[in-house]
Amino acid sequence: MTPRLRGAAFAAPALLWAVVLFWESSRANPFPFLPEALLSQDKLLHAGAYAVLGALVAAALRATRLGLARALALATVVAALYGATDEWHQSFVPGRTADPFDWAADAIGAMAGASAAVLALRGRIARASIRA
C-alpha cells in the first residue's frame, strides 16, 4: 500500500470523529446523560475530545511517512483550526456560545493528543519500512 493510500485510510477515523464533534456541537445540550459535576469541567471535556482528534490526525499524517515534527505540528494546527471553526459554529446554535477559552482547551488537547500519537507511532513506521 502506498503511503498516500495508507494516509487516506488512516484519515477516515479522523474525519468520522470531526463529524461527531460537529454533530454534538449542533445540539443545545449535547450530553444530557452526563452528571452536572462532569459538565462543569467542560474545559477537560474539550481538551479530551480534541486530544482524540489530534491523535487521529497525527496518525493519518504519520501513515504518509511525514516526519515526526511535521506530523506533530500539522496535526496540532489542523485540529486546533477545526476547534476554532467549531466554536464559531456554536455561536449559531441556540443555547450555545463561542468561547475563546474552550478553543484554547481544544488547542491544548489537540497538541497533547498529537504528541502522544506521534510518540507512540515513531517506532512503528521505522520498523515497517525496514521490513518492507
Q: State the Cα torsion 69-104-79-35 to the nearest 10°.
A: 130
Closest CA to 65 of 118, 12, 13, 131: 118
Alpha-carbon distance 108 to 113, whole Å?
A: 9
Instruction: Give residue-wise pLDDT tens across range 49-105.
Output: 999 999 999 999 998 888 999 999 999 999 999 999 999 999 999 988 899 999 999
Q: Which tens digit of pLDDT belongs to each residue from 25-58?
A: 898 877 777 777 666 688 898 999 999 999 999 9
Do 106 and 46 contact (CB within 8 A), yes or no?
yes
1: three-class secondary structure by DSSP: coil
- pTM for the model: 0.85
